[in-house]
């Protein structure tokens, strides 16, 4: 069974140290993220329809809203200790303006790259900090996270030649019918389960709606809606006054058991475990974008 060792959460997004032994379903995040093996068996992620190896020498790089799945090992045996950076693109752009393009779907041209030696040292140091630290200042943590991200991603991203991505971001416009549909899903996470009704409200056939949605977001409506559910659940799990049953209903599930299964399928851990291991570095941020 997969477990979470430690999670830091704040304005930067999330950094998770995970002990993975089971695969995850295809899912997506609005974050720009990097996945680094710390120890254990070699593993892999499914990105762009291919298995991307996660080893001591490699890093898996996933763009914002890019569908992917954790595959674990070919044999399904062993455990992989994984350091996962899920970084808010708005935070990255505030730290370094040129990282505005970190939210572009082509920021990382390739999903798997060689992990630079300097990044390996920083990743090991951050993982060790997460294992033993009981108290770390948010500004020091953010510095460590940013240094690791830059050491990992700078040479493997489009940052050095970002002009085409800036132009593409300015020119990109989503179909207004899909934008309205996404707004409806955000307003009511239960609503996202009835995509035929959503298609009809958009004035589209179900097939045309699905095709237009995928063309606009690179995701199916279900994967997009599930991503919103996960982030909404995480935001509410950080509010200790809310019970798991309440959160389950708020994010669109009729029973806590269904919610727990969904959460584990997407993050590898239960909602209760997430709440136990997360360390909030900034508790007044809005995590659901």
In a domain, 220, yes or no: yes
In a domain, 285, yes or no: no
Question: What is the extent of the structural domain holding 81?
Answer: 3-162
In a domain, 109, yes or no: yes
In a domain, 286, yes or no: no
In a domain, 171, yes or no: no
Q: What is the pLDDT of residue 132?
A: 86
From 137, 162, 187, give the residue that closes a domain: 162
Q: What is the pLDDT of residue 72?
A: 86
Whether residues 15 and 146 fall in one domain: yes
Whether residues 32 and 122 fall in one domain: yes
Whether residues 130 and 210 fall in one domain: no
Please report the sign of the dihedral spanned by the C-alpha atoms of residue 245, residue 251, residue 254, residue 258: negative
- Could you write out the DSSP letters of every residue in the chain? --EEEEEEEETTEEEEEEEE-S---SB--SSEEEEEEEEES-EEEEETTEEEEE-TTEEEEE-TT--EEEEE-TTS-S-EEEEEEEE-HHHHHHH-GGGGGGGSTTSSSSSEEEPPHHHHHHHHHHHHHHHH-S---HHHHHHHHHHHHHHHHGGGSSGGG-HHHHHHHHH----HHHHHHHHHHHH-TTGGG-HHHHHHHTTS-HHHHHHHHHHHHSS-HHHHHHHHHHHHHHHHHT-TTS-HHHHHHHTT-SSHHHHHHHHHHHHSS-HHHHHHHEEES-TT-----
Whether residues 41 and 111 fall in one domain: yes
Q: What is the pLDDT of residue 116?
A: 94
From 162, 185, 215, give the residue that closes a domain: 162
Whether residues 62 and 145 fall in one domain: yes
Indicate which CATH number applies to the domain containing 215.
1.10.10.60
Whether residues 112 and 190 fall in one domain: no
Indicate which CATH number applies to the domain containing 23.
2.60.120.10
Neighbours of 27 (CB within 10 A): 17
Whether residues 136 and 203 fall in one domain: no
Per-residue pLDDT of the chain (289 residues; tens, 9 = 90+): 789 999 999 999 999 999 999 999 999 999 999 999 999 999 999 999 999 999 999 999 999 999 999 998 767 789 999 999 999 999 999 999 889 889 888 899 999 999 999 999 999 999 999 998 778 899 999 999 999 999 998 889 888 777 777 666 655 678 999 999 999 999 888 766 789 999 999 999 999 999 999 999 999 999 999 999 999 999 999 999 999 999 999 999 989 999 999 999 999 999 999 999 999 997 444 444 3
Whether residues 153 and 235 fall in one domain: no
Whether residues 108 and 180 fall in one domain: no
From 129, 162, 195, give the residue that closes a domain: 162
Whether residues 155 and 213 fall in one domain: no
Domains identified in the chain, total number: 2
Whether residues 18 and 138 fall in one domain: yes
Whether residues 24 and 156 fall in one domain: yes
In a domain, 200, yes or no: yes
In a domain, 168, yes or no: no
In a domain, 67, yes or no: yes
Give the tokens for residue 28.
């997506």
């Amino acid at each position: 069974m997969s477990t979470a060792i430690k999670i830091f959460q704040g304005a930067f997004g999330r950094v998770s140290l995970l002990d993975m032994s089971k695969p995850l379903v295809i899912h997506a995040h609005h974050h720009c993220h990097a996945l680094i093996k710390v120890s254990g068996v070699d593993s892999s992620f499914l990105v762009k329809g291919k298995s991307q190896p996660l080893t001591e020498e490699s890093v898996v790089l996933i763009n914002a809203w890019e569908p992917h799945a954790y595959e674990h090992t070919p044999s399904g045996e062993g455990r992989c200790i994984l350091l996962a950076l899920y970084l808010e693109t708005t935070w990255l752009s505030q730290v370094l303006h040129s990282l505005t393009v970190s939210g572009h779907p082509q920021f990382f041209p390739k999903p798997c790259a060689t992990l630079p030696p300097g990044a390996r040292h920083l990743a090991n140091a951050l993982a060790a900090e997460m294992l033993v630290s009981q108290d770390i200042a948010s500004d020091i943590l953010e510095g460590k996270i940013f240094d690791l991200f830059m050491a990992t991603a700078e040479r493997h991203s489009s940052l050095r030649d970002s002009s085409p991505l800036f132009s593409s971001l300015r020119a990109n416009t989503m179909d207004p019918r899909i934008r309205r549909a996404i707004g409806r899903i955000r307003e009511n996470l239960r609503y996202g389960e009835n995509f035929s009704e959503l298609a009809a409200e958009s004035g589209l056939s179900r097939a045309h709606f699905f095709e237009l949605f995928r063309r606009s977001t690179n995701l199916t409506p279900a994967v997009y809606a599930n991503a919103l559910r996960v982030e909404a659940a995480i935001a509410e799990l950080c509010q200790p006054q809310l019970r798991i049953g309440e959160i389950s209903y708020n994010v669109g599930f009729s029973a806590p058991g269904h919610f727990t299964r969904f959460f584990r399928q997407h993050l590898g851990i239960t909602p209760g475990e997430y709440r136990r291991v997360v360390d909030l570095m900034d508790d007044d941020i809005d995590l659901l974008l």
